[in-house]
Amino acid sequence: MESINVIDAIKGRSSTRKFLDKPVPKEIQEKILEAAAMTPSGANMQPWIVYAVSNKEMLTKIGDAIIAHIEAGGDVDQFIQYYPVNWINPYKKRRIVTGAGLYKLMGVDRHDDETRQQMWFDNYRWFGSQTVFFVFMEKELINGAQGPLIDSGAYMQNLMLAAEGYGLGSCPQGSTTEYGKIIARVLDVPENLALLYSVVIGYEDKEAKINTYQPARVPMNDTVTFVE
- Give pLDDT tens digits for 87-140: 999 999 999 999 999 999 999 998 999 999 999 999 999 999 999 999 999 999
Average pLDDT, stretch 159-175? Answer: 96
Cite the DSSP H helix spans in 72-179.
Answer: 91-105, 113-121, 147-165, 174-177
Cα 44 to Cα 31, 51, 177, 218: the distances in Å are: 20, 20, 24, 33
Is the distance from CB of 211 to CB of 17 less than 8 angstroms?
A: yes
Mean pLDDT of all residues belonging to the chain? 96
Average pLDDT, stretch 196-219? Answer: 96
List the chain domain ranges: 6-82+125-213
Q: What is the pLDDT of residue 91?
A: 95
Lowest mean pLDDT among 6-15, 155-164, 216-225: 6-15
CB atoms within 10 A of CB 113: 10
> CA triplet 79, 84, 90: central angle to 5 degrees?
155
DSSP per-residue codes, 44-91:
G----EEEEE--HHHHHHHHHHHHHHHHTTPPP--SS--S-SS--TTH
Q: How far is CA 162 from the centre of its chain?
A: 14
Q: Which of 28, 210, 35 is nearest to 131 (CA)?
A: 28
Percent of the chain with pLDDT over 70: 99
Is the distance from CB of 135 to CB of 195 less than 8 angstroms?
A: yes
> In this model, does residue 2 exceed pLDDT 80?
no
Q: What is the CATH number of domain 6-82+125-213?
A: 3.40.109.10
Is the distance from CB of 20 to CB of 202 less than 8 angstroms?
A: yes
Q: What is the pLDDT of residue 3?
A: 60
- Give pLDDT tens digits for 13-43: 999 999 999 999 999 999 999 999 999 999 9
Q: What is the pLDDT of residue 72?
A: 97
Pairing relation of β-strands 131-138 and 169-173?
Answer: unpaired
- Give pLDDT tens digits for 70-88: 999 999 999 999 999 999 9
Q: What share of the chain is helix, strand, coil (3-state, %, to 5)?
A: 50, 15, 40
Compute φ and ψ for 76, nearest 5 degrees.
Answer: -60, 150
Q: Which of 47, 16, 64, 65 is nearest to 151 (CA)?
A: 47
Query: CA-to-CA distance for 224 and 41, rounded, in angstroms?
Result: 24
